[in-house]
Structure 1
Amino acid sequence: MFAKIFYYLKFIFYALVNIPRDLKGALLYHKIKHKLKYYDQSNCSLQQVFSDLVKTQPDKVLFHFNNETLTFKQFDLESNQVANLFSERFGLKKGDCVALFMENKPQFAVIWFGLGKLGVITALINTNLRQRSLTHCIQVAKPKLVIYDTELEEAITQVHADLKLDLIKHGEIKQNLNQKAPRLEDLVKQHSDNFSAKEEVKGSDILMYIYTSGTTGLPKPAIIKHNRYVAGGFSFFDTAKLSKEDVFYVTLPIYHSNAGIIGLGAGLVSGCTLVLRKKFSASNFWKDAIKYNCTVFSYVGEICRYLLNQPPSEIDKMHKIRLCIGNGTREYISRDFWNRFGVKCYEIYGATEGNVVLVNNVGKFGACGYIPLMNRFIKIMPCFLIKMDENLEPIRDKNGFCIQCEPGEKGLIVGLIQKTTKSEFSGYANSSEATNKKIIDNLFRAGQKAFNTGDVLVQDWNGFVYFVDRLGDTFRWKGENVSTLEVEDAISKRLNSIEVACYGVEIPGQEGKAGMIAIITSSDIDLKSLQEGIQKDLPQYARPVFIRLTPSIEHTGSLKAVKKQLVQDSFNINLFNDKTFYFDTKDQVYKILTQQVYEQILNQNFKI
């Protein structure tokens, strides 16, 4: 009785204390919601939104790249040529798909934007992928052809026979391994920069596929519609209180949603100037920021850590950057980043394919956003933390409905599926099975559906939300989501189907989790041969840092590997007698993990 009274008094106290913050957040949320409602009703495409920017600021610089510039009008005209080329020469039409395998450069955006004018879908392929992974990601999108960067010609040549698709190359010809593949730059010159659409492209049409590991297996192409892209561009622009005068520094891969939607969207949707870099460089970061008068950038936690690891410099605060938007920073990282560089980290939570987006724009270090406590009773935001069992399945009450978590209780975050741009779940391309697996039925009432993020978060009494873990089949390393199924499958095949369990382990001083595999075997393996296979079959970020040889592991009744104990053991060789190896980055080979090396890793005196 008294405990219940105390609980409600405590709840009311914290709800009242946070009214100013929650009210501001609610007003911002409904402002964005109202703006997006207009675009939903008009059902306009991204290209239609961009055309308004071209009319009002045609000569403004859209892209800075390698000392070259591209204005809004130039970008529009070049994308018109791309649209005409693929319509007239290749006969592509609305609903067709093209795979784009290219490094960061303005032409990357020109190509998918031009294809989008036709209603053609572009599958944005991760440039780290090789062989089997690359083949899978291209084939699952069912493209008509592949456009690739000449710098990636060797990688595409290795899978060309399996793809059986026409190839088009872009960039300076070096090796010319695919002599029959025409060069895109030569083709577009033959086509007009005046484009007139044959078919109407709407906001509800699919713009692109952005790949995500999700929590259910191999990389899947998440469907991004035109209105979803526009919503992303506007939402983050308004949440961070940006203006068209801001200069957005983009150093992350633009085939991912972080840089591809938040970063490029600031320009294509909201009219900012973008400074694009091929790859992130810690040593050149602040030099570029100063040179181009950058005011904001997008990040993953690793970027902030790399910048903090640079020697202190007199230019640390000579820049004009006031904030950065991204995910993956720990509390001490964001605090140190603010103290040293004077830059606020706007930590966000979200998934490429999901309908849950949280933003910490109030400066609470360590939090990835906030959900008002009153959201439990008054549905201010369409996302909730629900109770779960150890298998990440929702726990239900006697009526079969999900149960909301209490403050301080870890829970599964889910997003209510509604018929609005911000709350719909479009799912994955060509896979209704994978899409349906992400949907929770009968959330709080019969017929109510929600998107299952597969992520575990916790909310404190002030409503701030903190990321706990991704307990599905993925973990994050080097800024990428690693699919454990992909790693297990690739290595098991190399070992003649020996069972392999892959999981992520934390390393002191490192963001994310390093890959570790347990190979179930009673004998030694050919480590050199395995390493060659790993390097051939897996992208660099997915290659295991640790390898453990163990005679057996626990299984469920359905013969699925139970990884809980393996995760708890981590790479602590004092907890087990199994032979364990680590990847020596200096010598580029796997070596036995000794007590000395183990302690050096713990003390952050050994590079992993």
Structure 2
Amino acid sequence: MELLDAVKREWTAVNILARVKSWLDPVTQEPDVLTPDDIETCIDANRDRVAIRFEGKAMTYGELDILANRIAYWGLGQGLNRGDTVALMMENRPEYIAAWYGLSKIGVVTALVNTSLTGKSLARSVEIVNARLMITGEEQARAISSLPKTMRSSLPVWSFSKTAAPGRNMRSALASQASNRPAKSCRSRLKSDSNCLYIYTSGTTGMPKAARMSHARVRTMMRTFIAPTKATGKDRIYVPLPLYHATGGLCAVGIALQTGGEIILRRHFSASAFWDDCRENKVTIFAYIGELCRYLVNQPERENDKQHSVRAAFGNGLGADIWETFSDRFGVRRIIEFYGSTEGNVKFMNYDSKPGSCGRVPPIARKQYAHVAFVKFDVETQSPVRGEDGHCIRTGVNEVGEAIGRVGTDSTTRFEGYKDEDASQQKILRDVFEDGDAWFRTGDLMRMDQHGYVYFVDRVGDTFRWKGENVSTNEVAEALAQVPGVETANVYGVGVPGTEGKAGMASVTVNGYLDYKELFDRLANNLPKHAIPVFIREQREADTTGTLKYRKVDLAKQGFDPDRIDDPVRYMDPETGEYTRLTPDQFKKIASGGGRF
């Protein structure tokens, strides 16, 4: 049986890799083909078919192209030239896709700005890409008003809002523009390695960084999941994810714009409406990120949970603790979990839906992954471990280490970096295995088993030391999620005076009643003693980013001081061995170094 399973694994890998290669080969073989060329080819073959369904209306491929052409001519009328940048900050709507696609027709780079940003973060996003102007939708007026006065007066902001000022109204401005395609000479001299988009990355910490997205990279992302999901022009791809995020805005949208399928676009993700949307629109494929699937599992069960036409899902962030629960409850058997950062050169894909794995490096493809390595990592120094020769040390089977990717010049190993060169250099690790080599740091701790399956362990900086042991926040969060009453769990380390390392703290949201005695008993049965959280904070709502990732930094800064936060905090009382409500007096005792842990 074990031999048969091994044969099946390799056969699946061979077939999927061959199909993926057939879709990706043109990207490397056509150095002069740009993203708009690809999309125009698909449009010409599917002009009368529906491209996007949104809020009860349908837009055909032909109509999408006409809108994009009008935007291109509008851009030329604004004096935009090849290589200029436009900031796009807009809620999900068909005009979003038409905007960056249309601007790409004239060689203009679009920066896809996170719609949750305001103030300094928003200003930084616009400044670092040197945006000539900005395009918004109906929901960004407050964010725009938070920009510094000098920027508001110098940055032209055009809006698709019905209430936009006449001189900045995109709807009225586009009405008078030509509908035919602008000449390809508008984007002449651009190559596949020319910049197409900026997508911002920062995870849950720090100011936004603008990652360069070349035409080759965009074309690759738009094609990557066609083979694994077995997509065709008959598929309907549900996109409730923000279009400024690569998974929804490029990978999911790209499946349709390369095959002639339909995009079922939703303005914002809604856990309660998700499956009703899928049923109503006959969705066959959807993309997920972050904790989306956990939100769906946490919804009340319905008799029609499996009554839908979804046959495949792909994305990243599906927790190992709910993978099979999600699959069994909703009947989605084909789940393509993948790993890959917007800007990086390390990518994995779980072709055969192995629960908990974010990818696989099959023996037949080891040469293809020769640029990827896992190196031993020191949690205390927050840096890779180096041997006596000064070089990094590779991890063994199932040993946790940081994933890194060798930086080269070909399409597989190239690190395109950020608009900010200093930020790019901070992601490079040098003299790794030999003097002079350079590797991209993912900032992620991972492990690979004997069959080549890769598992995400934690983010660098999230794993912390307590009582001389490493604590994986991801592992603790998964254990907490198994406790009845815990709806979501966000784990991080906090400093405690008089102790070494960091104590574990969890911010949880509760669904119903949470029995803390049962919580401790379950954690004690599933975690080593040092990994059991010392503090637990009950939040009314989980603190997440626009891409459904948990925020940790602000929570860690707030710590466990009951006078600084409104939420109730409990701590593991070493005298009673139970979680008790933390009072201001108890906090003062702990803060003065008088606590026992």
Q: TM-score, normalised by structure 2?
A: 0.77
2:135 aligns with: 147
Partner letter of residue 591 of structure 1?
Answer: D
Q: 2:231 aligns with which of 239, 242, 247?
A: 242
Tell me if structure 1 keeps the 8 A contact 2:462–2:492. no
Q: Any residues of structure 2 matched to 1:370-519 within 5 Å, and which?
A: 370-372=360-362, 378=367, 380=369, 382-390=371-379, 391-429=381-419, 431-472=420-461, 506=477, 508-509=480-481, 514=490
Decide whether aligned partners of structure 1 residues 375 and 69 sit closer, same or farther in structure 2, where only a CA change above 3 A counts.
closer
Partner letter of residue 168 of structure 2?
Answer: P
The reply to whether residue 320 of structure 1 matches residue 309 of structure 2 is: yes
Decide whether aligned partners of structure 1 residues 515 and 196 sit closer, same or farther in structure 2, where only a CA change above 3 A counts.
farther
Summarize deviations over 1:397-417 as a string: whole Å, max 9, x none. 444443321111001111233
Summarize deviations over 1:288-329 as a string: whole Å, max 9, x none. 111211101001242212222222223212211011111111
The reply to whether residue 185 of structure 1 matches residue 160 of structure 2 is: no
Percent identity over the alignment? 31
The reply to whether residue 365 of structure 1 matches residue 364 of structure 2 is: no
Summarize deviations over 1:539-560 as a string: whole Å, max 9, x none. xxxxxxxxx9x77897xxxxxx
Distance 2:409 2:487 in 1: 36
Q: 1:287 aligns with which of 276, 284, 301?
A: 276
Task: Measure how far apart 1:87 and its partner are.
Answer: 0.6
Distance 1:585 1:251 in 2: 20
Task: Measure how far apart 1:67 and its partner are.
Answer: 0.8
Distance 1:286 1:571 in 2: 28
Task: Measure how far apart 1:445 and its partner are.
Answer: 4.0
Distance 2:192 2:365 in 1: 30
The reply to whether residue 72 of structure 1 matches residue 58 of structure 2 is: no
Distance 1:552 1:135 in 2: 41
1:493 aligns with: none
Q: 1:199 aligns with which of 178, 184, 187?
A: 187
The reply to whether residue 221 of structure 1 matches residue 210 of structure 2 is: yes
Task: Measure how far apart 1:462 and its partner are.
Answer: 2.1
Task: Measure how far apart 1:145 and its partner are.
Answer: 0.8
Partner letter of residue 320 of structure 2?
Answer: E
Secondary structure of 1:118's counterpart equals coil
Tell me if structure 1 keeps the 8 A contact 2:240–2:269. yes
The reply to whether residue 134 of structure 1 matches residue 109 of structure 2 is: no
Summarize deviations over 1:421-471 as a string: whole Å, max 9, x none. 333210001x11111121223444444432110100111222211111011
Partner letter of residue 417 of structure 1?
Answer: V
Distance 1:474 1:106 in 2: 40
Task: Measure how far apart 1:473 and its partner are.
Answer: 7.6
Decide whether aligned partners of structure 1 residues 21 and 600 sit closer, same or farther in structure 2, where only a CA change above 3 A counts.
farther
Distance 2:318 2:347 in 1: 16
Task: Measure how far apart 1:595 and its partner are.
Answer: 3.8
Partner letter of residue 565 of structure 1?
Answer: K
Tell me if structure 2 keeps the 8 A contact 1:583–1:590. no
The reply to whether residue 58 of structure 1 matches residue 47 of structure 2 is: yes
Distance 1:335 1:580 in 2: 27
Distance 2:389 2:368 in 1: 21
Partner letter of residue 566 of structure 2?
Answer: K
Tell me if structure 2 keeps the 8 A contact 1:581–1:591. no
Partner letter of residue 242 of structure 2?
Answer: P
Q: Any residues of structure 2 matched to 1:541-560 within 5 Å, and which?
A: none
Task: Measure how far apart 1:393 and its partner are.
Answer: 2.3
Secondary structure of 1:151's counterpart equals coil
Distance 1:444 1:34 in 2: 33
Secondary structure of 2:338's counterpart equals strand
The reply to whether residue 104 of structure 1 matches residue 41 of structure 2 is: no
Q: 1:156 aligns with which of 139, 144, 152?
A: 144
Task: Measure how far apart 1:82 and its partner are.
Answer: 0.3
Tell me if structure 1 keeps the 8 A contact 2:348–2:358. yes
Distance 1:470 1:425 in 2: 20
Partner letter of residue 300 of structure 1?
Answer: I
Q: 1:231 aligns with which of 220, 239, 250?
A: 220
Distance 2:370 2:221 in 1: 17
Secondary structure of 1:317's counterpart equals coil
Decide whether aligned partners of structure 1 residues 285 and 585 sit closer, same or farther in structure 2, where only a CA change above 3 A counts.
closer
Q: TM-score, normalised by structure 1?
A: 0.76
Q: 1:347 aligns with which of 331, 337, 341?
A: 337
Summarize deviations over 1:336-378 as a string: whole Å, max 9, x none. 11111111322111111111221112121111111236877x5
Distance 2:112 2:447 in 1: 33
Q: 1:94 aligns with which of 43, 58, 82?
A: 82
1:169 aligns with: 159
Tell me if structure 2 keeps the 8 A contact 1:97–1:120. yes
Give the unaligned 5+ runs of structure 1. Answer: 1-12, 476-502, 519-547, 555-563, 602-608
1:482 aligns with: none
Cα RMSD (Å): 3.5
Partner letter of residue 454 of structure 1?
Answer: G
Give the unaligned 5+ runs of structure 2. Answer: 465-472, 509-515, 521-529, 543-563, 573-577, 582-597
Tell me if structure 2 keeps the 8 A contact 1:584–1:591. no
Count of paired positions: 512
Tell me if structure 2 keeps the 8 A contact 1:97–1:123. yes
Decide whether aligned partners of structure 1 residues 474 and 300 sit closer, same or farther in structure 2, where only a CA change above 3 A counts.
farther
Q: Any residues of structure 2 matched to 1:42-57 within 5 Å, and which?
A: 42-43=30-31, 44-57=33-46
Summarize deviations over 1:90-125 as a string: whole Å, max 9, x none. 110111111111000010111111111111111111
Partner letter of residue 150 of structure 1?
Answer: E
Distance 2:240 2:192 in 1: 28
Decide whether aligned partners of structure 1 residues 46 and 67 sit closer, same or farther in structure 2, where only a CA change above 3 A counts.
same
Q: 2:502 aligns with which of 554, 565, 579?
A: 565
Secondary structure of 2:442's counterpart equals strand
Decide whether aligned partners of structure 1 residues 206 and 454 sit closer, same or farther in structure 2, where only a CA change above 3 A counts.
same
Summarize deviations over 1:549-587 as a string: whole Å, max 9, x none. x77897xxxxxxxxx414x355799999x999765559x
1:257 aligns with: 246
2:27 aligns with: 39
Task: Measure how far apart 1:181 and its partner are.
Answer: 5.3
Partner letter of residue 250 of structure 2?
Answer: I
Decide whether aligned partners of structure 1 residues 215 and 401 sit closer, same or farther in structure 2, where only a CA change above 3 A counts.
farther
Task: Measure how far apart 1:419 and its partner are.
Answer: 2.7
Decide whether aligned partners of structure 1 residues 580 and 314 sit closer, same or farther in structure 2, where only a CA change above 3 A counts.
closer
1:591 aligns with: 566
Distance 1:133 1:515 in 2: 25
Task: Measure how far apart 1:143 and its partner are.
Answer: 0.3
Distance 2:47 2:505 in 1: 59
